[in-house]
Amino acid sequence: MDIAECLTLMDLLCAREFPAAPGGWEHGESGPGYHIAALRTSAAFWEDDGTEWEETAAQYEADRDGLVQRLTARWGQSQHISLRGVLDRALEGEDIEEPWASLSEHVPDVHLWQAPASGRWVALGVSHGHKELPFQLLGVVTETDPY
C-alpha cells in the first residue's frame, strides 16, 4: 500500500463505526471502540541472518515517519509515546483497555494524534514481534485514551 492508500484507509477508519464485538476484516481487526489496520506487512524472517531484518526494520520505520509527516501536516505535531508503561501496567495486573493492551505486547511506541473532526485517537506504529515474525506498519483509530 502506498502513502496515498494508507492515508485513505486512515480516513476511512476515522469515519467508520466501531463494531459491537471484536472481529477481523480485510485490513486488520476491529472491536468495541477501535480499529487496527495493517497498512504494510513484510515477509517472515525464518531463514534470515539478521541483515534483511535490520534493513526491513529501517524501511518500516521510514515508512511510518513518512506517514507521520503527512498526518502532522493535517493535524499538527504528534505525541510520540512509548507503550512500555502500558505493557508494564498490564503485566502488573491492571486492566488495560483495547487496543492498547494488545498493541503494547508488540508495538514499542506510537505517534499519536487526536483527530479534530471525530475526536478519535489516531496512532501509527511498527509492530516488532519475535525476530522471525513479519514487521507490520499499523494504523490505529480508537475512542480510548491511551493514558
pLDDT tens for 105-124 read 999 999 999 988 888 999 99
Q: What pLDDT is attached to residue 47?
A: 79
The residue with cell 513484510 is 42
The closest of 121, 119, 101, 99 to 111, measured between CA atoms, is 121
pLDDT band at 64 (very low <50, low <70, confident <90, very high): very high
Q: How many residues can be counted in the chain?
A: 147
Q: Are 24 and 37 in contact (CB under 8 A)?
A: no
Q: What pLDDT is attached to residue 95?
A: 93
Res 132 pLDDT > 90 = no
- Percentage of the chain beyond pLDDT 70 is 100
Q: What pLDDT is attached to residue 147?
A: 76
Q: Report the alpha-carbon angle 74-71-104, nearest 5.
A: 140
Q: In the chain, which ranges are E strands?
A: 23-25, 28-31, 34-41, 79-82, 109-114, 121-128, 135-142
Res 135 pLDDT > 80 = yes
Mean pLDDT (the chain, rounded): 92
Res 50 pLDDT > 80 = no
